[in-house]
């Protein structure tokens, strides 16, 4: 199979779809890999590294989209990239379609086979291709939140860990999944007072076992969220509903009750955000202020640590990339129900039910799309 790796063009996105070791594996299995010149530089990977692994370096993205049978990316294709997709071409990347009607419409029109990292599943019900980026984003959240709390950044001027005689900041984390757990790990390490909110009793028990008395756990109700949001110096939203738009757990009215200069980091912004006042930002302009509250809503947080993120992502995507290349997309999806769950759009049909529901579009099951 001819596999193409274009350079990411999203604002300040430095990750790359394949690392040289992944390229070498694909070449070893008889596939051709085309990499756009400079695609890996943001992650510290040179064209020479890719050449040594057996890749073909091409100058522009046009040739990659024109010739490759499968495109491997990191972030969702932007409008100019979507225009280059063609019928029958495989796109393997993060998509986050539920909050993005324009992208969904364009992918349907392209006739391409679009497989989303974030809805590929595992036998235990987890999302293995989303997990490493959730870990990175979770660990980044207290770090960027602490920075945003500094007075020069528009924050309250509060040190996350406090000092002797002065209380630490109150950090409230909505969601006790992968991102929430990793956010709690870093916030505790920075010395903050941490509360994690979740509606799963099992998640709360797991967090209590893992952290002991280092954090507080609270069962999620509207009343509990209202109270905790009002007290928070730093609010981190990590709520995820696989494939669907994130629920708006924090209303604008709740934001108005927050302390001036407090900070919201909405990690769920890729799926539309779990705070009503959130909208996606970029690393170039990461924050904005609503009612005196600083909002950090960067839609590609892991891109800030591109090298770590790229290698973490490749370690989980490579087996699926190999399966698609070795067997072709239909056979690969027939063989593996978990990869099949990643199929979001196929040859003009929406094959992910939460995406279809989000946009009021007809739904065709992945099984029907591949002829099972």
Q: Is 110 helix (H, G, I), strand (E, B) or coil?
A: helix
Closest of 221, 260, 268 to residue 276, by C-alpha: 268
- The catalytic residues are 96, 270
Closest of 138, 140, 187, 181 to residue 161, by C-alpha: 187
Closest of 41, 211, 259, 235 to residue 144, by C-alpha: 235
Instruction: Please give the helix or strand (H or E) that residue 67 lies within, else none.
Output: helix 61-67
Q: Is 166 helix (H, G, I), strand (E, B) or coil?
A: strand
CB 196 within 8 A of CB 217: yes
Tokens found for residue 303: 């891109």
Give the Cα separation of 314 and 311 in Å (integer).
5
CA 48 vs. chain centroid, Å, equals: 29
DSSP 148-206: HTSGGGTS----TT-BTTBPPPEEEEE--SHHHHHHHHHHHHTT-EEEEEES-HHHHHH
Give the Cα separation of 218 and 225 in Å (integer).
9
Q: Is 294 helix (H, G, I), strand (E, B) or coil?
A: strand
How does DSSP classify residue 129?
A: T
Where does 71-121 have alpha helices with state H?
Answer: 79-82, 101-110
The C-alpha R_g of the chain, in whole angstroms, comes to 21
């Amino acid at each position: 199979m001819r596999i193409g790796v274009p350079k990411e063009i999203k604002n300040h996105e430095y990750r790359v779809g394949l690392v040289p070791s992944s390229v070498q594996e694909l070449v070893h299995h008889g596939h051709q890999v085309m990499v756009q010149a400079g695609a890996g530089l943001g992650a510290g990977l040179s064209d020479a590294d890719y050449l040594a692994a057996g890749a073909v370096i091409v100058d522009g993205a046009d040739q990659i989209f024109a010739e490759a049978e499968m495109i491997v990316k990191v972030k969702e294709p932007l409008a100019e990239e979507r225009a280059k997709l063609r019928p029958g071409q495989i796109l393997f990347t993060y998509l986050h379609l539920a909050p993005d009607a324009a992208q969904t419409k364009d992918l349907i029109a392209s006739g391409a086979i679009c497989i989303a990292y974030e809805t590929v599943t595992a036998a235990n019900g987890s999302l293995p291709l989303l997990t490493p980026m959730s870990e990175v984003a979770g660990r980044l959240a207290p770090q960027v939140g602490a920075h945003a709390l500094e007075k020069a950044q528009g924050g309250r001027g509060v040190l996350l860990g406090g000092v002797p005689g002065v209380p630490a900041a109150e950090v409230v984390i909505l969601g006790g999944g992968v991102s929430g757990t990793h956010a709690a790990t870093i916030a505790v390490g920075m010395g903050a007072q941490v509360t994690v909110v979740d509606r799963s009793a099992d998640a709360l028990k797991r967090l209590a076992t893992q952290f002991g008395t280092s954090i507080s756990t609270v069962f999620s109700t509207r009343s509990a969220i209202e109270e905790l949001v009002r007290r928070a110096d730093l609010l981190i939203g990590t709520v995820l509903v696989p494939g669907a738009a994130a629920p708006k757990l924090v209303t604008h009215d709740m934001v108005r009750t927050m302390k001036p200069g407090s900070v919201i980091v909405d990690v769920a912004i890729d799926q539309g955000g779990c705070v009503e006042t959130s909208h996606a930002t970029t690393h170039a302009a990461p924050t904005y202020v609503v009612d005196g509250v600083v909002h950090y809503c960067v839609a590609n947080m892991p891109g800030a640590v591109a090298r770590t993120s790229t290698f973490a992502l490749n370690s989980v995507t490579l087996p699926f990339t190999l399966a698609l290349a070795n067997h072709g997309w239909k056979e690969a999806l027939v063989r593996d129900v978990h990869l099949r769950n990643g199929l979001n759009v196929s040859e003009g049909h929406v094959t992910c039910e939460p995406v279809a529901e989000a946009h009021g579009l007809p739904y065709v099951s992945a099984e029907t799309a591949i002829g099972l």
